Chains A and B, each alone.
Chain A
């Protein structure tokens, strides 16, 4: 096992102020059990899970309450034992409604009979381990929520050569992954070893940004005696270093083609939190029912890294961190670059809620957009090599076809373009608008073709 510096650098990227000092020294603390949880059936990428419970049912901690429906889907489990009060539509952070199980929690949470039996990661077969990952409802905890069992089971013609562990955490304010690496490096290692067995023994590259020296040291210690081709790759601190395609390029120099998945170049990227969750699922049979969320910003009294059950309301998290302070103008679910502004604290955490930020008017401001002056900052910042200024001007003028020709479907919506714009143009928003239009048009064309054929 050796530590190396990242050999390659993707073009573009920006350097926002990170503000990680608010929480990077704070160890993870557990949230006292909330009285109510709202567990969403649609918290992963793909088809929502099918709800298996109805009001009045009593569920145990870790019990399966939502069954995966379809190839790209994931199971959902009860994050606490309790009684189902209702099953109703609740908005997520993007405003989309999804069915949620409203759970009134019990006082006593010690009953773990709903857990699956522990597995020995060295002795269990590859299929058993993969089935365990699927049964535990594990999905990408870095934010995308892609069902992990699907990612770890590539089609027969694709072979995984590199397993890349994403410990970059390039978003400002967020330190959940950093603390996970510092405090639970051994569980992350167990998760990596499990994934390695499932994938057939690929080389392992652990990518960590160089602004987390303590995390790098902890991971070095945990992986010191790891066998095989394992490297810790120290990446320069640059946003969006944590983006899948760019991390693959920075660690192993491979370029994922447009519209393709990383497995097309023989790589699988997983978040450190996901690895730890896999370790839990294998060692103690606990499904994915809790995660660490960084509650930070200048609008919260005590910024913390909170481990909370999935389905905790933002209001409970805020209360645990001392409540709001000052004139909070913006509440963001996720990071400030790619997260979602939420209009209320009645929204619940999901398996992918990495951060909850409270920002006052010292940190945010209302802006009015001006025409593009062609300064080129967005172009220099774009990690996907697009021309954001031309795309935003095209979409503004209603010419979505031109935006499509300029490759807007490859936009990863990282926000680096809007970040530096001196005219305060909502460039990422324009790209998102164009993508929505194009997707709607493609869906309509597909439906028409299906009807004809």
Chain B
């Protein structure tokens, strides 16, 4: 009994001594830090996604307080966090809109031609480096999940050889944008609900040879949304693009697209 008592007391004493030492160190040896850094770090979402370009939220907070970074670079935090940080730092808040990632392709394995069986590293950049990729369309999604692998929120899934971003989970950090070897992913305003899911600017016959749902540049979407004057769509070669500063709101363009490459938001949840 005695031994146990002695052992307990000794350990307790050692613990107390260590605690005292730590307390003294915390008081006298601590590094003086700007208290705003802690406040800004707490205000930031804490996702540590790196989308702002700094190493984690703490890194961005330090840069902000030191004046080395602009407010509003935190996409996951969005305008709410930007406003709060502005208050802490005593600066003007700038309005930013929530943006989400969009994979501009709807060519699944069933719809788009694959020219061979790819056998190698299961990664989009590796596939793209091998004979240009196993997809007939040189612009389309290869579906090996490079984007899905880097997404910190697991917002991207690959279904039937096509990557789809779930808008509800996406924080707009932009990691997928740089991961895609075909530069297929774009950050678009979260409020836009109609999108052209194709990136192939080639002529109609070239596109239909390699994909059943590729854009052929027929301009019907433009016609059905008020024509050129309405300016809801722009064209790059034979590829239609949504004008995100003035996006279309009438969903009839979706049904009227003969190629079915214009989709609305439900696509991102159901893949339809």
Residues on A facing B (Cβ under 8 Å): 91, 93-96, 340-344, 366-367, 369, 396, 426, 429-430, 432-433, 436
In the complex, which residue of chain B has the Cβ closest to the Cβ of A430?
B121
Asked if B129 and A436 sit within 8 Å, CB to CB, the answer is yes
Interface window among B74-82, B91-99, B131-139, B240-248: B131-139
Q: Which of B117, B123, B133 contacts A433 (CB 8 A)?
A: B123
Asked if A432 and B115 sit within 8 Å, CB to CB, the answer is no
- By a CB distance below 8 angstroms, the chain A residues around B132 are 91, 94-96
Please measure, in the bound complex, the distance between the C-alpha atom of A93 and the C-alpha atom of B131, giving whole angstroms: 7
Q: A95-B131, A340-B131, A341-B131 given as contacts; is B125 within 8 A of A436 (CB)?
A: yes
Please measure, in the bound complex, the distance between the C-alpha atom of A432 and the C-alpha atom of B129, giving whole angstroms: 9
Query: Which A-B residue pairs are the 8 nearest by beta carbons?
Result: A95-B132, A343-B115, A95-B131, A343-B116, A426-B120, A429-B120, A429-B121, A426-B121
Q: A95-B133, A341-B130 given as contacts; is B116 within 8 A of A433 (CB)?
A: no
> How far does the Cβ of B136 sit from chain A's closest Cβ, in whole Å?
9
- By a CB distance below 8 angstroms, the chain A residues around B115 are 343-344
> How far does the Cβ of A150 sit from chain B's closest Cβ, in whole Å?
27
Please measure, in the bound complex, the distance between the C-alpha atom of A341 and the C-alpha atom of B133, giving whole angstroms: 11
List 5 additional A-B contacts (Cβ < 8 Å) besides A343-B116, A429-B121. Answer: A344-B115, A426-B120, A429-B120, A429-B130, A433-B121
Chain A contact surface mostly: loop
Please measure, in the bound complex, the distance between the C-alpha atom of A94 and the C-alpha atom of B130, giving whole angstroms: 7
Asked if A367 and B123 sit within 8 Å, CB to CB, the answer is no
Q: A433-B125, A436-B125 given as contacts; is B119 within 8 A of A94 (CB)?
A: no
> How far does the Cβ of A105 sit from chain B's closest Cβ, in whole Å?
26
Q: A433-B126, A436-B125 given as contacts; is B119 within 8 A of A342 (CB)?
A: no
- By a CB distance below 8 angstroms, the chain B residues around A366 are 117, 119
> How far does the Cβ of B151 sit from chain A's closest Cβ, in whole Å?
14
In the complex, which residue of chain B has the Cβ closest to the Cβ of A343?
B115
Selected A-B contacts with CB under 8 Å, 29 pairs: A91-B132, A93-B131, A94-B131, A94-B132, A95-B130, A95-B131, A95-B132, A96-B132, A341-B116, A341-B130, A341-B131, A342-B131, A343-B116, A343-B134, A344-B115, A366-B117, A366-B119, A367-B119, A426-B126, A429-B120, A429-B121, A429-B126, A429-B130, A432-B126, A433-B121, A433-B123, A433-B125, A433-B126, A433-B129
- By a CB distance below 8 angstroms, the chain B residues around A340 are 131
- By a CB distance below 8 angstroms, the chain B residues around A94 are 131-132
In the complex, which residue of chain B has the Cβ closest to the Cβ of A427?
B121
Q: CB within 8 Å of A: which of B112-171? A: 115-117, 119-121, 123, 125-126, 129-134
Residues of B in contact (CB 8 Å), total 15
Q: CB within 8 Å of A: which of B61-112? A: none
Please measure, in the bound complex, the distance between the C-alpha atom of A5 and the C-alpha atom of B209, giving whole angstroms: 56
Q: CB within 8 Å of A: which of B229-260? A: none
- By a CB distance below 8 angstroms, the chain B residues around A95 are 130-133
> How far does the Cβ of A346 sit from chain B's closest Cβ, in whole Å?
11
- By a CB distance below 8 angstroms, the chain B residues around A433 are 121, 123, 125-126, 129
In this complex, the member of A94, A96, A396, A426 whose beta carbon has the largest number of chain B beta carbons within 10 angstroms is: A426
- By a CB distance below 8 angstroms, the chain A residues around B129 are 432-433, 436
In the complex, which residue of chain B has the Cβ closest to the Cβ of A433?
B126
In the complex, which residue of chain B has the Cβ closest to the Cβ of A330?
B116
- By a CB distance below 8 angstroms, the chain B residues around A343 are 115-116, 131, 134
- By a CB distance below 8 angstroms, the chain A residues around B126 are 426, 429, 432-433
In the complex, which residue of chain B has the Cβ closest to the Cβ of A344?
B115
Please measure, in the bound complex, the distance between the C-alpha atom of A430 and the C-alpha atom of B132, giving whole angstroms: 16
Please measure, in the bound complex, the distance between the C-alpha atom of A96 and the C-alpha atom of B125, giving whole angstroms: 14
Please measure, in the bound complex, the distance between the C-alpha atom of A94 and the C-alpha atom of B115, giving whole angstroms: 14
Please measure, in the bound complex, the distance between the C-alpha atom of A367 and the C-alpha atom of B123, giving whole angstroms: 15
Please measure, in the bound complex, the distance between the C-alpha atom of A91 and the C-alpha atom of B210, giving whole angstroms: 15
Please measure, in the bound complex, the distance between the C-alpha atom of A340 and the C-alpha atom of B126, giving whole angstroms: 14
> How far does the Cβ of A371 sit from chain B's closest Cβ, in whole Å?
13
- By a CB distance below 8 angstroms, the chain B residues around A369 are 121
Please measure, in the bound complex, the distance between the C-alpha atom of A433 and the C-alpha atom of B123, giving whole angstroms: 10
- By a CB distance below 8 angstroms, the chain A residues around B121 are 369, 396, 426, 429-430, 433
Please measure, in the bound complex, the distance between the C-alpha atom of A63 and the C-alpha atom of B71, giving whole angstroms: 62
Please measure, in the bound complex, the distance between the C-alpha atom of A26 and the C-alpha atom of B133, giving whole angstroms: 35
Please measure, in the bound complex, the distance between the C-alpha atom of A341 and the C-alpha atom of B117, giving whole angstroms: 11
In this complex, the member of B116, B121, B125, B133 whose beta carbon has the largest number of chain A beta carbons within 10 angstroms is: B121
Please measure, in the bound complex, the distance between the C-alpha atom of A290 and the C-alpha atom of B145, giving whole angstroms: 43
Please measure, in the bound complex, the distance between the C-alpha atom of A341 and the C-alpha atom of B119, giving whole angstroms: 11
In the complex, which residue of chain A has the Cβ closest to the Cβ of B128?
A95
Please measure, in the bound complex, the distance between the C-alpha atom of A340 and the C-alpha atom of B129, giving whole angstroms: 11
- By a CB distance below 8 angstroms, the chain A residues around B131 are 93-95, 340-343
> How far does the Cβ of B256 sit from chain A's closest Cβ, in whole Å?
33
In the complex, which residue of chain A has the Cβ closest to the Cβ of B122?
A369
> How far does the Cβ of A199 sit from chain B's closest Cβ, in whole Å?
36
- By a CB distance below 8 angstroms, the chain A residues around B130 are 95, 341, 429
> How far does the Cβ of A170 sit from chain B's closest Cβ, in whole Å?
23
- By a CB distance below 8 angstroms, the chain B residues around A91 are 132
